[in-house]
C-alpha cells in the first residue's frame, strides 16, 4: 500500500509539472473563463498545446482520484482494525470512501467528454461549442467538489472514531493504575490528530480554492493539489518516523522518556483489541474488561513499591 501511495503521489506531481512545461504558450497566453483556459490568439501551436494539455490533464485526474482512494483506504482500514468488536462502525467512513471513488472516477469520465468538446470548439467558431466546453467543465468541478468534500468528511470522521476508541479504553486503564500509565497512549492520540490534521487541512484548502472564482483561487487550487499529493503519503509516515525516533511514547513508570538515551528506553507497545473474555492476567499481559471490548495493554511492574503506587 505504501509503495502504491508513493508511486501515485509522485506520478501526479510529475504529470502536473510535465503539463506545465510542455504547454508554455497555453499557460502564459490564455484567458481564464469560468475556470476554463482559452488561448488569447488562435494559432496552430496554441491549438496543439491546448489539446496536449487536456490529454495530460486527463491522466492527472485519474491519479488524483486514485490518490484520494488510497489515502482514505488507509484511514478506513485503521478504523476497522481499532473497532474490533464493533466493526460495523467502520461502514460509515467506508461508505464515504465509496462515494469519493464514484464521483472521482465520474469526473475522470467527464474529463474525456470535455476533451472531445474542446476539439469541436477549436474546429468551429460557433458559440454553442464554447458554451458546451464551459458547461462540461463546470460539471467536472462539481464532481470534484463532491469527491473532495467526502474525502474531507472521511478524514475527520475516522480521526474522531480512532481517537475516541483509544481514549475510551485508556481511561479504564487510568482508573486502575493512574494517569501516568496512559501517557504513551495520550502521545499516540496526539500523533493521530497531528497526522490527520495536516492531510485534512490540505484537502480543505483544495476544496475551498476549487469553489472560489479568480486567478488567485486558480493558482491556490494547483498549489493545494500538489500539497495534497505529497501529504497523502507524508501524513501516515509521520507516525512511523516519530516512533522510529523514540518520540512516540513517554515511559509510564518513571524510569525514562523518549528524550533520554535510546539504549535506556523501551520500545513503544501497541494497543490490541480483543473480544470480551473476562478479566485475566497471564505473565505481564493484563486484560482490562470494557463495556464492549477489552484493551490488551502490556506493562511492567518494577517493584512492590511501584506496584503499590499505582494501586
Residue 65's pLDDT is what?
A: 83
- Give the residue, 120 or 149, on which the prediction is more confident: 149
User: Residue 206, SS3?
Assistant: helix
61-79 pLDDT per residue, tens? 888 788 878 888 888 888 8
Cα 15 to the chain's mean position, in Å?
20
- Give the residue, 265 or 19, on which the prediction is more confident: 19
Q: What are phi and psi of 43, to 5 degrees?
A: -145, 170
Average pLDDT estimate for 126-143: 82
222-245 pLDDT per residue, tens? 788 778 777 877 777 776 676 666
| Contacts of residue 81, Cβ cutoff 8 Å, sequence gap at least 6 | none
Q: How sure is the predictor about 286, in pLDDT bands with cuts at 50, 70 and 90?
A: very low
Average pLDDT estimate for 298-311: 40
Average pLDDT estimate for 284-309: 39
Q: Which helix (H) or strand (E) holds 288?
A: strand 285-289
Mean pLDDT of the chain: 72
C-alpha distances in Å from residue 69, one per residue of 16, 87, 131: 19, 20, 32
Q: 232 and 11 in contact (C-beta within 8 Å)?
A: no
209-221 pLDDT per residue, tens? 887 877 777 778 7
- Pick from 162, 179, 202: nearest CA to 254: 179
**Does residue 34 come out as left (phi exceeding 0), alpha (psi in the -120 to 50 range) or beta?**
left
Domain ranges of the chain: 2-244, 266-310
- Give the residue, 43 or 249, on which the prediction is more confident: 43
Q: 154 and 97 in contact (C-beta within 8 Å)?
A: yes
Average pLDDT estimate for 246-270: 46
Q: What is the DSSP string of 134-163?
A: HHHHHHHHHHHHHHHHHHHHHHHHHHHHHH
Q: Three cell numbers at 13?
A: 506531481
- Give the residue, 155 or 125, on which the prediction is more confident: 155
Amino acid at each position: 500500500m505504501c509503495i502504491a501511495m508513493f508511486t501515485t503521489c509522485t506520478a501526479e506531481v510529475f504529470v502536473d509539472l510535465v503539463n506545465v512545461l510542455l504547454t508554455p504558450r497555453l499557460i502564459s497566453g490564455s484567458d481564464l473563463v469560468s475556470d476554463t483556459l482559452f488561448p488569447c490568439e488562435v494559432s496552430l501551436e496554441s491549438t496543439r498545446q491546448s489539446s496536449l494539455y487536456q490529454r495530460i490533464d486527463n491522466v492527472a485526474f485519474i491519479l488524483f482520484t486514485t490518490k484520494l482512494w488510497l489515502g482514505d483506504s488507509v484511514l478506513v482500514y485503521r478504523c476497522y482494525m481499532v473497532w474490533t468488536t464493533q466493526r460495523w462502525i467502520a461502514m460509515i467512513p467506508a461508505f464515504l470512501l465509496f462515494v469519493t471513488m464514484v464521483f472521482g472516477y465520474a469526473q475522470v469520465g467527464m474529463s474525456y467528454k470535455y476533451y472531445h468538446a474542446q476539439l469541436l470548439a477549436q474546429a468551429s467558431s460557433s458559440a454553442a461549442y464554447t458554451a458546451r466546453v464551459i458547461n462540461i467543465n463546470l460539471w467536472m468541478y462539481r464532481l470534484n467538489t463532491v469527491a473532495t468534500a467526502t474525502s474531507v468528511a472521511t478524514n475527520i470522521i475516522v480521526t474522531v472514531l480512532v481517537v475516541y476508541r483509544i481514549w475510551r479504553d485508556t481511561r479504564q486503564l487510568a482508573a486502575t493504575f493512574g494517569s501516568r500509565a496512559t501517557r504513551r497512549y495520550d502521545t499516540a492520540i496526539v500523533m493521530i490528530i497531528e497526522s490527520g490534521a495536516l492531510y485534512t487541512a490540505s484537502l480543505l484548502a483544495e476544496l475551498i480554492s476549487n469553489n472560489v472564482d479568480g486567478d488567485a483561487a486558480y493558482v491556490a487550487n494547483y498549489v493545494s493539489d500538489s500539497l495534497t499529493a505529497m501529504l497523502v503519503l507524508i501524513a501516515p509516515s509521520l507516525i512511523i518516523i516519530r516512533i522510529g525516533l523514540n518520540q512516540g511514547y513517554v515511559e509510564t513508570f518513571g524510569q525514562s522518556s523518549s528524550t533520554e538515551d535510546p539504549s535506556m528506553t523501551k520500545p513503544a507497545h501497541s494497543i490490541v483489541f480483543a473480544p470480551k473474555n473476562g478479566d485475566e492476567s497471564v505473565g505481564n499481559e493484563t486484560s482490562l474488561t470494557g463495556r464492549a471490548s477489552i484493551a490488551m495493554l502490556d506493562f511492567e511492574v518494577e517493584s512492590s513499591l511501584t506496584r503499590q503506587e499505582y494501586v
